[in-house]
Amino acid sequence: MDIQNLIDNTFKKYGLKKTIFRKELFKLFYDSLNSLSAKEISKQFSSSTDKASIYRALDSFEKSGLIHQVPDKNNLLRYSLCKSECKPNNHAHDHAHFLCSVCEETFCLDDFKLPSAKSHNGFLINHLKIIMEGTCVRCKSI
């Protein structure tokens, strides 16, 4: 499937408004191998795109279940594309996140097996958030 078709289908599926800017933003996430911070995103667009519309688009992408916020070492707003089927206001994945202390990038570890316990000593577990820190594959090989 070419990228234009993919964008059309995705936007239709998630009920997103199709503007040139939003299509470009989606493409950016699609092309990036891992996460993007709001700062990195705004660098990709010309100065004519104001920050407010970038934040608005990110917010609506997130609410639609297209991207999710990931932890960031510097507390920046950082997002990754959802790889599983997420629905509006209901992100279906519980996966671990890995923070690289060298390049400060955040990675989604979709295949990391999370503990399956639903409760512990009477505490009910609704969400599991696992954040690991270390050196990513790329930085390890430098």
Tell the smallest beta-carbon distance from residue 62 to Zn ion (Å).
Answer: 8
Tell the smallest beta-carbon distance from residue 105 to Zn ion (Å).
Answer: 5
Tell the smallest beta-carbon distance from residue 1 to Zn ion (Å).
Answer: 20
**How far is 135 from 44, CA to CA, in rounded Å?**
26
| Shorter beta-carbon distance to Zn ion: residue 41 or 100 | 100
Annotate each residue in 86-115 with x if it binds Zn ion (CB under 5 A) or - if it does not, as one string: x----x--------x-xx----x-------
Distances (CA, A) of 87 to 45, 70, 113: 28, 17, 22
Determine, following the binding rule CB under 5 A, whether residue 139 of this chain makes contact with Zn ion.
yes
Main-chain dihedrals φ then ψ at residue 72, nearest 5 degrees: -135, 140
Number of neighbours of residue 55 by Cβ within 10 angstroms = 14
| Shorter beta-carbon distance to Zn ion: residue 45 or 138 | 138
The answer to whether 100 and 139 have CB atoms below 8 angstroms apart is: yes
What does the DSSP assignment read for 68-108?
A: EE---TT---EEEE--S--BTTB-----EEEEETTT--EEE
Q: Scanning residues 50 to 69, which ones bind Zn ion (CB under 5 A)? A: 68
User: Exactly one of 29, 80, 81, 99 binds Zn ion (CB under 5 A); which one?
Assistant: 80
**Residues at the site binding Zn ion, with contacts judged by CB under 5 A:** 68, 70, 80, 82, 86, 91, 100, 102-103, 108, 136, 139
